[in-house]
Structure 1
Amino acid sequence: MKIVIISDTHLPKRAKGLPARLTAELKDADLIIHAGDWQTIDVFHELHTYGKVEGVFGNVDDEEIKKHFPEKRIIELNGFKIGVTHGHGKGKTTEKRAILAFTEDEVDCIIFGHSHIPLKKYQNGLLLFNPGSPTDKRRQKMYSFGILQIGDTIEADHIFFSNKGVTNE
Structure 2
Amino acid sequence: MRIVVLADTHMPKKAKVLPAELIQNLEESDQILHLGDWQSLDLFDELQKFAPVDGVAGNVDSEDVISRLGYQKILTFNDFRFGLVHGHQGKGPTTEDRARNTFRDEQLDAILFGHSHIPVLKERHNITLFNPGSPTDKRRQSHFSFGIIDLSTTTTICFQHIFF
TM bin, normalised by shorter chain, reads: over 0.9
**1:1-169 to 2 correspondences below 5 Å:** 1-89=1-89, 91-150=92-151, 151=153, 152-161=155-164
In structure 1, give the amino acid aligned to 2:5. Answer: I
**Structure 2 regions of 5+ residues with no counterpart?**
none
Q: CA deviation at 1:50?
A: 0.6
SS in 1 for 2:129: strand
Q: Distance in 2 between matches of 1:132 and 1:66?
A: 21
Q: Distance in 1 between matches of 2:51 and 2:77?
A: 16
In structure 2, give the amino acid aligned to 1:116. Answer: H
In structure 2, give the amino acid aligned to 1:13. Answer: K
In structure 2, what is the equivalent of residue 165 of structure 1? none
Q: CA deviation at 1:51?
A: 1.0
Q: CA deviation at 1:124?
A: 2.3
Q: Distance in 2 between matches of 1:45 and 1:17?
A: 13
Q: Deviations over 1:54-101 (max 9, x none)?
A: 100000001110121011011101111000000003651000000000
Higher RCO structure (Cα 8 Å, ≥6 apart): 1
- Percent identity between matched residues is 50
Q: How many residues align?
A: 161
Runs (4+) of structure 1 exceeding 6 A deviation are: none
Q: Distance in 2 between matches of 1:125 and 1:94?
A: 18
SS in 2 for 1:64: helix
SS in 2 for 1:44: helix
SS in 2 for 1:127: strand
Q: Distance in 2 between matches of 1:118 and 1:48?
A: 24
What is the TM-score of this pair, normalised by structure 1?
Answer: 0.93
What is the TM-score of this pair, normalised by structure 2?
Answer: 0.96
In structure 2, give the amino acid aligned to 1:159. Answer: I
